[in-house]
Amino acid sequence: MIDAQDYAGFARFLSECCGLVLGENRQYLVSSRLSRLLDEFGFNKVEDLLRALRQSPDAKLKSRVIDAMTTNETSWFRDVYPFETLRQVVLPELAAKKRPIKIWSAACSSGQEPYSISMIVSEWEAACRPKVVPVSITATDLSESILAEARSGLYDGLSIARGLSAERRQKFFDTVEQGHQIKADIQRRVRFQKLNLMDSYALLGKFDIVFCRNVLIYFSADTKRQIFDGIAKQMDPGGYLFVGASEAVGSYTNAFESIRTPQGNMLRRR
């Protein structure tokens, strides 16, 4: 088990490099998630790992540590209502402006959220032919390995079952030897790239819709303010932000107003 001093040092490192806050008494979590990594790189304990990271920064090692500590819990159409609101309310409203719609899926993990968005766009387009306006999706995450998984668009039987109906599985996936491959038209709409949410978002461009869901609970209050301010700068007035059902925004920014719809709540850029 990691001792208190090493735990405190590792918690500081994680906060400094990617903003994640471990909190107190999470030694077992750190030990369990880093044990395989320590063995692989030949370290006896977390103190040795920290020393290596600080004395001679190794991009590969740092990336592997972040991968090990990042929770990539996700599912298809998670919570349902944001995707129904997107299809029934947001896309029709924005399409009326007769210009391309740009969507950002932040902290996209292994791709279920941006691909779910792309499926919704496909269903919406099919219901309002001829095609109204082009829609593009940028999906970002901190982890290189999880982005590689997302880009592949290939999922096993366990992950494909989480939140995906049999109808959508048949419509949007091909069954291949390795598992289930998302269809090319759904995949083409999504562009994946690496991004640390503590860095600048300026190079991403402007977005009409942002999904940043179930990730900010891992950040400090100051980092949440920084992230919400950064997101707001990438959106024009009237754009929409979706956050997790239990995530409050009002304490960290006044750039958004809450909008109620029959499907659920969302936030609109003032």
Look up the CATH number of the domain holding residue 44. 1.10.155.10
Q: Are 37 and 131 members of one domain?
A: no
Do the domain assignments include residue 261? yes
Residue 65: per-residue pLDDT: 85
Q: What average pLDDT does the segment 64-76 reach?
A: 80
Residues 32 and 129 both lie in one domain = no
Q: What is the CA angle 228-233-234, rounded to 5?
A: 100
Is there a contact between 116 and 83 (Cβ–Cβ < 8 Å)?
Answer: yes
Q: Based on the domain organization, do 116 and 41 belong to the same domain?
A: no
187-235 pLDDT, tens digit per residue, is 999 999 999 998 999 999 999 999 999 888 878 889 999 999 999 999 9
| Three-state secondary-structure class, residue 213 | coil
User: Model confidence at 82, in pLDDT bands (50, 70, 90)?
Assistant: very high
Between 53-62, 90-99, 188-197, 229-238, the lowest mean confidence (pLDDT) is in 53-62
247: domain CATH number is: 3.40.50.150
CA-to-CA distance for 49 and 62, rounded, in angstroms?
10
Pairing of strands 173-176, 179-182: antiparallel
Of the three residues 69, 96, 123, the one that is the final residue of a domain is: 69
Domain boundary among the residues 40, 69, 98 is at 69
What is the band of 25 on the pLDDT scale with cuts at 50, 70, 90?
A: confident
Would you mind telling me the total number of residues written for the chain in this entry?
A: 270
Instruction: Look up the domain containing 38 and give its range.
Output: 4-69
Do residue 179 and residue 233 come from a single domain? yes
Residue 76 lies in a domain: no
Look at residues 172, 179, 121 and name the one whose alpha carbon lies nearest to residue 152. 179
Q: What is the pLDDT of residue 225?
A: 93
The answer to whether residue 227 sits within a structural domain is: yes
State how many domains the chain has: 2
Same domain assignment for residues 57 and 125: no
Q: Does residue 189 fall inside a structural domain?
A: yes
Q: Of the candidates 101, 236, 19, 205, which has an alpha carbon nearest to the alpha carbon of residue 255? A: 236
Q: Do residues 146 and 244 both lie within one domain?
A: yes
210 and 138 share one domain = yes
pTM of the entire predicted model: 0.88
107 and 199 assigned to the same domain: yes
Distance CA 73, CA 75 (A): 7
Dihedral (C-alpha) 79, 82, 87, 91: value to the nearest 10 degrees? -160
The two structure tokens encoding residue 93? 């409203």
Q: How far apart are CA 10 and CA 96, in angstroms?
A: 50
Q: What pLDDT is stored for residue 35 in this prediction?
A: 86
pLDDT digits (tens, 9 = 90+) for 133-154: 999 999 999 888 899 999 999 9
Share of residues in the chain with pLDDT > 70 (%): 97
* Between residues 175 and 131, the one the model is more confident about: 175
pLDDT above 90 as % of the chain: 59
Examine the fold and report which residue of 17, 36, 69 is the final residue of a domain before the chain moves on: 69
Q: How are strands ordered across the β-sheet holding 101-105?
A: 190-194, 135-141, 101-105, 207-211, 235-242, 265-269, 256-260
pLDDT band at 32; cut points 50, 70, 90: confident
Q: Which helix (H) or strand (E) holds 208?
A: strand 207-211
- 56 and 96 assigned to the same domain: no
Examine the domain organization and report whether 105 and 179 are in the same domain.
Answer: yes
Question: Is 208 part of a structural domain of the chain?
Answer: yes
Q: Same structural domain for residues 59 and 89? A: no
Q: Please enumerate in sequence order all residues whose Cβ is within 8 A of that of 225, keeping only pairs 6 or more positions apart, or say none.
A: 252, 253
34 within domain boundaries: yes
**Do residues 42 and 114 both lie within one domain?**
no
Q: Is residue 36 part of a domain?
A: yes
Comparing CA positions, the residue from 211, 204, 110 lying closest to residue 155 is 110
CA count, 13 A, side-chain hemisphere, 13: 22
Q: Does residue 245 belong to any structural domain of this protein?
A: yes
